[in-house]
């Protein structure tokens, strides 16, 4: 989504690496060693702290370090002071969220951070609503108007804009064209609905090779949400983040279909499949199809030794996918000067040309519509049209699950999914999950 984000050499760092220490210019708690967090700047420089969800080391940090170095040479100023940025590599998304929350609690909030777009309701008390800043800045307003509407679904709530899209994704169907040919299937035609997934899967499952794999760990709930969206006309939660609908007919239909792929139709391995293992299995030819994040596109492109395709997710009652990935947040417990400086950096890194190159380098969707008019992305998508599928699928995109008590609610849902995969009854398990979630969300109603 998402992610993951998450390019396996790139994205696995983003989605799955262990907790990381800060960069060598930051203290271990994520605060800057060279600037006060009370809003004071060092002389003529405003050095921003940017929390980014990845471990220290690896290819992605080279890209981020390159951005920081380039930006720091730009000489962009706020109130006559040069703005610079220092990345702090804070582990995966969950670890980054924990570190940011700890820093905020200790009065050492970062200036800005890339965290999951769905973290909004957990962060609301600590982040700055951006509308006033955007309204006063024509460049910022132009940028916000240029983002794909699908990416703004998780960026806005209660009539306010809380975050800026950065590394965003949808769920895609990946398929091995070589294995399709061997099975007598049209390599240019992916399954378009749930029934065809089963039909194709039966022709593709043989000799230790599976028809399809769906990961159930880490962001497995996101894959499940895609199925739930396809199974009905609603979503798994309310827009205000105060209700979930885990026991809806669509939710139950989606989970039963997931289990049936392995236990009834025998086109997918039984048991809980790991988020990291699934793309590896696809690249190694162990599964002919997989559902995974757009962010795996570069990974598959660079590592698969076969021709592959990507397609919209197969539909049921409707075609649908949730969006996923990370957004920029600016924190409110910093000076106005630092807030303005943070927006200057966001505008810089979200430039159309830069967003286009980020998409090429990582597999994430370029968040700005104008990026697809740049020569770099046009040339890339002409030679690799698979990169356009996720962008076009945004027309079918829906808001990713985002609620109060997000971490606890997602754990309830993830545990339910894995329990059913392990043999528990679908109806009973989701009814239990609904009751647990209702209890957690009751104080917010």
Closest CA to 179 of 197, 199, 201: 201
- As a whole number of angstroms, the distance between CA 79 and CA 47 comes to 13
- Minimum mean pLDDT range among 27-36, 53-62, 247-256, 373-382: 27-36
- pLDDT tens digits, residue range 223-276? 999 999 999 999 999 999 999 999 999 999 999 999 999 999 999 999 999 999
- As a whole number of angstroms, the distance between CA 191 and CA 197 comes to 5
Q: Average pLDDT, whole number, for the chain?
A: 91
- pLDDT tens digits, residue range 118-141? 999 999 999 999 999 999 999 999
Contact between 119 and 126 under an 8 Å Cβ cutoff? The reply is no
Closest CA to 64 of 345, 302, 379: 345
Band (pLDDT 50/70/90 cuts) for residue 57 is: low
pLDDT exceeds 70 at position 16: no
Question: Which pTM does this prediction carry?
Answer: 0.88
Closest CA to 125 of 431, 442, 404: 404
Q: Within 13 Å and on the Cβ side, how many CA atoms surround 389?
A: 22
- Which residues on adjacent β-strands are paired with residue 48? 85
- As a whole number of angstroms, the distance between CA 425 and CA 443 comes to 29
Residue 157 has what DSSP assignment?
A: E
- As a whole number of angstroms, the distance between CA 291 and CA 174 comes to 6
- Which residues on adjacent β-strands are paired with residue 309? 175
- Minimum mean pLDDT range among 31-35, 375-379, 385-389: 31-35
Contact between 267 and 288 under an 8 Å Cβ cutoff? The reply is no
CB proximity list for 315: less than 8 A, separation 6 or greater: 192, 193, 194, 230
Band (pLDDT 50/70/90 cuts) for residue 42 is: low
Residue 401 has what DSSP assignment?
A: P
pLDDT exceeds 70 at position 363: yes
């Amino acid at each position: 989504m998402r992610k993951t984000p998450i390019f396996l050499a790139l994205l696995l760092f983003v989605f799955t690496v262990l907790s990381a220490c800060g960069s060598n210019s930051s203290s271990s708690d994520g605060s800057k060693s060279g600037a006060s967090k009370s809003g004071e700047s060092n002389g003529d420089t405003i050095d921003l702290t940017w929390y980014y969800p990845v471990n220290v080391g690896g290819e992605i940090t080279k890209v981020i370090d390159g951005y920081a170095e380039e930006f720091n040479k730009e000489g962009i100023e706020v109130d006559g002071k040069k703005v610079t940025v220092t990345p702090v590599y804070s582990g995966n998304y969950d670890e980054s969220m924990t570190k940011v929350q700890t820093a905020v609690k200790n009065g050492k909030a970062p200036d800005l951070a890339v965290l999951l777009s769905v973290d909004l309701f957990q962060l609301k008390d600590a982040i700055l609503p951006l509308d006033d800043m955007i309204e006063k800045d024509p460049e910022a307003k132009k940028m916000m108007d240029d983002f794909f509407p699908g990416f703004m679904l998780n960026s806005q709530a209660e009539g306010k804009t809380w975050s800026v899209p950065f590394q965003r994704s949808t769920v895609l169907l990946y398929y091995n064209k070589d294995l399709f040919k061997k099975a007598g299937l049209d390599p240019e035609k992916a399954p378009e609905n749930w029934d065809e997934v089963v039909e194709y899967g039966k022709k593709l499952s043989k000799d230790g090779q599976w028809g399809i794999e769906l990961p159930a760990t880490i962001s497995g709930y996101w894959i499940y949400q895609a199925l739930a969206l396809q199974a009905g006309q609603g979503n798994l939660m309310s827009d205000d983040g105060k209700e979930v609908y885990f026991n809806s007919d669509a939710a139950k239909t989606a989970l039963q279909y997931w289990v049936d792929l392995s236990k009834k139709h025998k086109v997918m391995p039984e048991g809980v499949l790991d988020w990291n293992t699934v793309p590896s299995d696809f690249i190694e030819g162990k599964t002919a199809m997989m559902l995974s994040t757009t962010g795996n596109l570069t990974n598959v492109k660079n590592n698969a030794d076969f021709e592959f395709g990507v397609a919209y997710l197969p539909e049921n009652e409707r075609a649908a996918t949730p969006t996923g990935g990370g957004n920029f947040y600016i924190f409110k417990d910093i000076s106005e000067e630092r807030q303005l400086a943070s927006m200057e950096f966001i505008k810089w890194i979200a430039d159309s040309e830069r967003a286009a190159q980020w998409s090429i380098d990582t597999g994430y969707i370029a968040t700005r519509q104008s990026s697809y008019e740049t020569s770099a992305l046009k040339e890339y998508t002409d030679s690799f049209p698979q990169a356009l599928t996720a962008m076009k699928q945004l027309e079918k995109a829906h808001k990713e699950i985002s609620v109060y008590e997000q971490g606890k609610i997602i754990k309830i849902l993830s545990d339910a999914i894995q329990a059913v995969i392990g043999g528990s009854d679908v109806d009973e398990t989701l009814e239990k999950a609904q009751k647990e979630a209702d209890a957690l969300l009751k104080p917010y109603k």
